[in-house]
Amino acid sequence: MRAIRGATTVLKDEPQEICAAVGELLNTIVQKNALRKEEIVYILFSNTSDIRSMYPAKAAREAGFSFCALFSAQEPQIDGALVLCIRVMVVAEGAGNVSHAYLRGAADLRRDLNKFAIALDGPSGSGKSTVAKQLARELDILYLDTGAMYRACALKLKKEGVECSNEARVASVIGGIDLRIEYRGGAQRTVLDGVDVSEEIRRPEVSMAASAVSALGCVREKMVEMQRKIASEQSCVLDGRDIGTVVLPDAAFKFFVTASVSVRARRRYGELTAKGYAVDLAELEKEIEERDRNDSSRAISPLRRAEDAELIDTSAMTVEEVVALIRRRIREKV
Ligand code: DC
Q: How close is the Cα of 20 to the center of ligand 1, in Å?
A: 44
Q: Which residues contact 289 (CB under 8 A, 6 or more apart)?
A: 261
Q: How close is the Cα of 242 to the center of ligand 1, in Å?
A: 9
Number of Cβ within 10 Å of residue 89's Cβ equals: 16
Q: Are 1 and 93 in contact (CB under 8 A)?
A: yes
Ordered by start, the domain boundaries in the chain are 2-110, 117-333
For residue 61, give the nearest of 27, 25, 23, 24 by alpha carbon.
23
The reported pTM is 0.74
Q: Are 25 and 105 in contact (CB under 8 A)?
A: no
Q: Which residues contact 28 (CB under 8 A, 6 or more apart)?
A: 6, 101, 103
Q: Are 171 and 153 in contact (CB under 8 A)?
A: no
The kind and range of the H/E element at 332 are: helix 319-333
Q: Report the CATH fold assignment for 2-110.
A: 60s Ribosomal Protein L30; Chain: A; (3.30.1330)
pLDDT of residue 334: 59
Cβ of 214 less than 6 Å from ligand 1: yes
Strands (E), 27-111: 40-47, 69-74, 85-92, 101-102
What φ, ψ does residue 52 adopt, rounded to 5°? Answer: -130, -10
> Pocket of ligand 1, candidates 150, 188, 207, 271: which has the most ligand atoms within 8 Å of its Cβ, to mutate?
150
Q: Per this entry, what is the length of the chain?
A: 334
pLDDT of residue 152: 98
pLDDT of residue 333: 65
CATH class in words for 117-333: alpha beta
Cβ of 241 less than 6 Å from ligand 1: yes
Cβ of 151 less than 6 Å from ligand 1: yes
Instruction: Name which residue sits closest to atom 4 of ligand 1, judged by CA.
Output: 147
Q: Distance (Å, rounded) from C-alpha 7 to C-alpha 5?
A: 7
Instruction: Name which residue sits closest to atom 11 of ligand 1, judged by CA.
Output: 211
pLDDT of residue 111: 72
Reading the chain (334 residues) residue by residue, the pLDDT tens digits are 999 999 999 999 999 999 999 999 999 999 989 999 999 999 999 999 999 999 999 999 999 999 999 999 999 999 888 999 999 999 999 998 888 999 988 987 887 777 889 999 999 889 999 999 999 998 888 999 999 999 999 999 999 999 999 999 999 999 999 999 999 888 899 999 999 999 999 998 998 899 899 999 999 999 999 999 999 888 899 999 999 999 999 898 999 999 999 999 999 899 889 989 899 999 999 999 998 998 889 899 899 999 999 999 999 999 999 999 999 888 776 5
Cβ of 146 less than 6 Å from ligand 1: yes
pLDDT of residue 323: 96
Return the bridge partners of 69, or none.
42
Cβ of 240 less than 6 Å from ligand 1: yes
pLDDT of residue 6: 95
Instruction: Name which residue sits closest to atom 20 of ligand 1, judged by CA.
Output: 147
Cβ of 188 less than 6 Å from ligand 1: no
